Amino acid sequence: MIKNDYDVIVCGSGPAGLSAAFAAAELGARVALLEKQRELGGKIPYSGNGRCNFSNVLDDVPFMNSFGRAGRFMTDALRCGGRDWFCEHLRSHDVPVTVTDGFHYFPESGKAWDVVDSFLLPLQRAGADFRTDTVVSAVCRTPDGAACGVRLASGEELYAKCVILACGGTAMSAVGGTAQGLRIAQQLGHRIIDPLPAMAPLYLEEEWLRELSGVSLKNVQLQFVSGRNHGKTNGEMLFTYDGISGPAALSLSNEAYRIWLEHPDRFDLKLNFDTRVDWQRQIDTFRKQDGNKFLRSSLSSFLPKSLAHAVCKQLGWEERKNQTLKDTERDTLVRLLTACPLTISQLCPMERAMAMSGGVTWKEIRPETMESRLVPGVYFAGEIMDLTGPCGGYNIQFAVASGRLAGLSAANSLRS
């Protein structure tokens, strides 16, 4: 018989792994937290520009819907480790929280490390074992196929009845992204949905937008249609030297890149520069009240000057005055301002993506426990699974909630 070193081994120390280890230790399990990097915390220290936007104000249903059709998978996870639990956990570990803009939750200190410490310090006190610079390469199995521990890249084996895979995704290897967790899951027989960049800038072909690099807009709408697939985001956006970034673009990328790859020729992407403006009425007002003014300078009262100029230049109307615009030309301008056609030029490299879409298919994971349907004793948590949310605290909240459910389920399975 195998002698167990631990009850629960958690692979990866991001929000999913920390929350899983914390939950298992809460139920008295002997826990080991294994991390391939020198420091614990996964991507938390880098999140939200070092401030960690860890959740948001949405209720569970709209929160889940933001992950697409598969979102309902997280119903049980949110029930045990959703926003209310997470906020209470932070407060009770001396990390007051704040909602900065009516939507995004942050630690009041503005320090992402406080979120890491809220898990680590109690884990330390509970006697959990931490091992950094430790790469897990495989899950060990008993002759009847159940998990019984992990094999490390060093060749050493550690034994436990439950193994939680919380290895994150492949985005941004500079801050810990890796495919190692996916490879381990694949060795166990799990199906992996191809990893693609998510929360990533959109690379565009439009040369005329390049000169706007650094210009930001507050109220855009981005929209794509491709056959029966469509997606839409609203909010802030930033022009970059090779495309667009900012929350509206990053959030759209989760779905947009996958669908664009399927049919690049049928992918129709459009940008509305400012959804608050009724452009047709506004341009008519320019024509009536400011007829002698240059169109570019009238547009500048609603758009950043460089964008107003770029739009006029794109139409060859740099020197046009408002009163010279015919109705058909007004309509052309309105179309450009409300449905500016954009063309994706290439896939964003994983290095620049903040998250991964794809991963271990949720169809092979039990939503009520996070346990693998294929290998008893193996649990999944966080971004390693094929569930990715947009910008705005969704992904860390889901990682923590799924980690908590996995940790509690693993520890409970040992009791029974």
Ligand X SMILES: Cc1cc2nc3c(=O)[nH]c(=O)nc-3n(C[C@H](O)[C@H](O)[C@H](O)COP(=O)(O)OP(=O)(O)OC[C@H]3O[C@@H](n4cnc5c(N)ncnc54)[C@H](O)[C@@H]3O)c2cc1C
Q: Which stretch binds ligand X (CB under 6 A): 116-124, 173-181, 282-290, 406-414?
A: 173-181
Binding mask 374-393 for ligand X (x = CB under 6 A): --------xxx--------x
Q: Which is nearer to ligand X, 337 or 378 (CB)?
A: 378
Task: State the Cα–Cα distance between residues 367 and 357, nearest whole angstrom.
Answer: 19
CA-to-CA separations, 180 to 37, 138, 293, 352, in angstroms, rounded: 13, 9, 61, 19
CB under 8 A, 24+ apart: contacts of 155-160: 158/5, 158/6, 158/9, 158/32, 158/34, 159/2, 159/3, 159/4, 159/5, 159/6, 160/4, 160/5, 160/6, 160/7, 160/8, 160/9, 160/32
Does 354 sit near ligand X (CB under 6 A)? yes
Does 81 sit near ligand X (CB under 6 A)? no
Does 135 sit near ligand X (CB under 6 A)? yes
Handedness of CA 39, 379, 160, 127 (dihedral sign): positive
**Shortest spacing between CB 206 and ligand X, in angstroms:** 26
Contact residue for ligand X among 394, 405, 410, 411 (CB under 6 A): 394
Q: Which is nearer to ligand X, 42 or 197 (CB)?
A: 42
**Shortest spacing between CB 143 and ligand X, in angstroms:** 24
Does 63 sit near ligand X (CB under 6 A)? no
- Are 310 and 208 spatial neighbours (Cβ–Cβ below 8 Å)? yes
**Shortest spacing between CB 251 and ligand X, in angstroms:** 11
Binding mask 274-303 for ligand X (x = CB under 6 A): ------------------------------
Among residues 352, 364, 355, the alpha carbon closest in space to that of 394 is found at: 355
Query: Token digits for 81?
Result: 């480790």
Q: Which is nearer to ligand X, 51 or 210 (CB)?
A: 51
Contact residue for ligand X among 175, 225, 336, 339 (CB under 6 A): 175
**Shortest spacing between CB 39 and ligand X, in angstroms:** 8
